[in-house]
Amino acid sequence: MRYPRELDLWRYAPGRSLAHVAVQTTSAGQCMANLGKSLSKIHANVISASMLPAGTAGEVSWSLFLDITGTGQTVKAMRERFLALPGVTAVSVAASEDGLVVHSQRFPLQLGGRRAVIIKADALNDMLDRLTEVFGSGAAVIVDQMGEAMGRSAARYVLKELGKKFSSDHLEALIGTYGSLGYAAVELEPGKSVDLHVVLHAKELFECEANAGRRVRRRSVFFRAHVRGFVTGVLGLEAEVEEVQCIAEGADECAFRIALKEDAVASVLVEAVSRRRDSQSTF
Ligand SMILES: [Zn+2]
């Protein structure tokens, strides 16, 4: 499904009264049913709702942006109303009369259980551009090292959580997380020859999409290095990643060939052995 996964940070609706409600509960389904009834009673309009795992084991938190225009609801009244629902352990409410309300569960933000900060793709591209302006061609080395370090850090986390064997066996699925994280729509194609291990197709890669419309058309540096660091870290074998086609140069999508350095060495040895056999068989 290609539907934007928006992070609900805040809502703005001029002239409306808005609220953000977070309800922590031990019973996800029952709580949603009760919340629905309660919201319908006060005639609040639900703009968006999502369920998140809460910090405490077994608990979840329902997060709702509401339009409460004309309902006469106050923060205090809503808090008391939702806190009285069965199974509810905590409630936070933020409301505004002037049409702007911010998500009341603000900090910390976690991705996969780790503290996270989210950088918008255009802000990250601006950072990469500034590096190029200041350091010229040397920027590629800096960006490459940044990408590699981030990829290796992601690999360390995966190894810690899933273990070496499971991570290696599920590398393809794990590479899919580049899509979940918003880098690009990714797909892996198994290699068709000895030196071509796998090809990673990346549609709408943030880094190259920004370069596609520019005078200086650069191929990917950051993402390529990130994948290299991640694959190398997970497998514990040096990987090489080469971008074989790029949207910055007019292709429909970017594609990266991922090969293991050890494999290249191994294939050379296999070839050498088979050549030797061939040469022996002639005698
Ligand atoms: Zn590209």
Q: State the 10-residue block means of pLDDT for the chain, 283 residues long.
A: 86 95 91 93 94 80 95 95 94 93 87 88 91 91 96 96 93 92 90 67 92 73 96 92 92 92 55 47 33
Q: Determine the distance separating the centroid of ligand 1 and the alpha carbon of 208, expressed in angstroms.
A: 4
| pLDDT given for residue 261 in this prediction | 83
| pLDDT given for residue 262 in this prediction | 65
Q: Determine the distance separating the centroid of ligand 1 and the alpha carbon of 193, expressed in angstroms.
A: 23
Q: Determine the distance separating the centroid of ligand 1 and the alpha carbon of 120, expressed in angstroms.
A: 18
| pLDDT given for residue 7 in this prediction | 87
Q: Determine the distance separating the centroid of ligand 1 and the alpha carbon of 247, expressed in angstroms.
A: 5
Q: Determine the distance separating the centroid of ligand 1 and the alpha carbon of 43, expressed in angstroms.
A: 50
Q: How far is CA 282 from CA 272, 274, 276, in A?
A: 16, 13, 10
| pLDDT given for residue 280 in this prediction | 43
Lookup: tokens for 223 = 């993402």
Q: Determine the distance separating the centroid of ligand 1 and the alpha carbon of 146, expressed in angstroms.
A: 17
| pLDDT given for residue 97 in this prediction | 87
Q: Determine the distance separating the centroid of ligand 1 and the alpha carbon of 245, expressed in angstroms.
A: 7
Q: Determine the distance separating the centroid of ligand 1 and the alpha carbon of 205, expressed in angstroms.
A: 7
Nearest to residue 66, comparing CAs of 90, 106, 39, 28? Answer: 39
Q: What is the pTM of this model?
A: 0.81
Q: Determine the distance separating the centroid of ligand 1 and the alpha carbon of 16, expressed in angstroms.
A: 43
239: which residues sit within 8 A by CB, 6+ positions away? 228, 231, 232, 258, 259, 260, 261
What does DSSP say about strands 110-111 and 45-53: parallel, antiparallel, or unpaired? unpaired
Please name each of the domains of the chain with its CATH number. 10-106 (3.30.70.260), 118-269 (3.90.1520.10)
Q: Determine the distance separating the centroid of ligand 1 and the alpha carbon of 253, expressed in angstroms.
A: 7
Residue tagged 């990130």 (tokens): 226
| pLDDT given for residue 266 in this prediction | 53
Give CA–CA dist 47/181, Å, rounded: 25
| pLDDT given for residue 5 in this prediction | 86
Q: Determine the distance separating the centroid of ligand 1 and the alpha carbon of 169, expressed in angstroms.
A: 27
Q: How far is CA 123 from CA 13, 55, 126, in A?
A: 26, 30, 5
Q: Determine the distance separating the centroid of ligand 1 and the alpha carbon of 236, expressed in angstroms.
A: 26
Residue tagged 């992601």 (tokens): 154
